[in-house]
Chains A and B, each alone.
Chain A
Amino acid sequence: EIVLTQSPATLSLSPGESATLSCRASQSVSSSLAWYQQKPGQAPRLLIYEASNRATGTPDRFRASGSGTDFTLTISSLEPEDFAVYYCHQRSNWPITFGQGTRLELK
């Protein structure tokens, strides 16, 4: 099973700042990685797929990159609605897995 390790666990920032979230896979997942955003009481929402492609409705301040084992989600100029939990997910190998999440909180 591929383990996805996200860092940091919690990120405390202010609106207007930039956020950098990391996801590291225990073995290569090529580009078969997605990022999800989850707000309290809501279902997770697909933000990024295939490592760097924004899903419909994802603002362009969300940028993602990486391949193999190291992936990054960058959110530039944070908006109040961006404060949430972010999960990475791989579908390269069965079983498909999720990371443990990074909580982006208001400083």
Chain B
Amino acid sequence: QITLKESGPTLVKPTQTLTLTCTFSGFSFSTSGVGVGWIRQPPGKALEWLALIYWNDDKRYSPALKSRLTITKDTSRNQVVLTMTNMDPVDTATYYCVYRVGATAYYMDAGGKGTTVIVSS
């Protein structure tokens, strides 16, 4: 069974850096093709893809946010960390960790509940 859990601060101030951690189980970065990433959803709005990291450390970022995002992985701890710099109130959203494995032809799926981030002074 695949599970993912997002963790991080609920409240950040404008201009601060956000650090989110995704801890997962049920699959491993040791498996070729595996990827873990992040999507977000502002209140009442649509889903937005942010970043993805693959088993081979290849990384992809949303062009709109690329300058502010860094995604890293810790294979031994089954964790993925996303940092987003220079936070702004428009970044207020629920952030979801997503995974892609062979069982679903490497399409993303969310295995956690998401974490709410509010950007406010």
Most B-side CB within 10 Å, residue of A49, A50, A95, A100: A95
Min CB distance, B63 to chain A, in Å?
A: 6
B112 near A49: Cβ-Cβ < 8 Å = no
Residue of B nearest to A96 (CB): B49
Binds A, one of B8-16, B74-82, B85-93, B102-110: B102-110
Which residues from chain A sit less than 8 Å from chain B, CB to CB? Answer: 1, 34, 36, 38, 42-46, 49-50, 53, 55-56, 87, 89, 91, 94-101
Q: What is the total number of residues of chain B having a CB less than 8 Å from a CB of chain A? A: 22
Return the CB mask of B99-121 against A: 1 if under 8 Å, else 0.
00001110111111110000000
Residue of A nearest to B96 (CB): A43
B112 near A55: Cβ-Cβ < 8 Å = no
B110 near A45: Cβ-Cβ < 8 Å = yes
Apart from the given pairs A43-B113, A44-B47, A98-B47, 8 other A-B contacts in the complex at a CB distance below 8 Å: A43-B110, A43-B112, A44-B110, A46-B104, A49-B105, A49-B107, A50-B107, A56-B104
Which residues from chain B sit less than 8 Å from chain A, CB to CB? Answer: 39, 46-49, 52, 60, 62-64, 96, 103-105, 107-114
Contacts of B105 in A (CB 8 A): 49-50, 53
A43-B96, A43-B112 as given contacts; A97 in contact with B104, CB under 8 Å: no
Residue of B nearest to A33 (CB): B107
Q: How far is the CA of A74 from the CA of B120 in the complex (A)?
A: 41
Contacts of A100 in B (CB 8 A): 46
Min CB distance, A85 to chain B, in Å?
A: 9
A43-B110, A46-B109 as given contacts; A95 in contact with B49, CB under 8 Å: yes
A43 near B46: Cβ-Cβ < 8 Å = no
A89 near B60: Cβ-Cβ < 8 Å = no
Q: How far is the CA of A38 from the CA of B109 in the complex (A)?
A: 12
A94 near B60: Cβ-Cβ < 8 Å = yes
Contacts of A99 in B (CB 8 A): 46
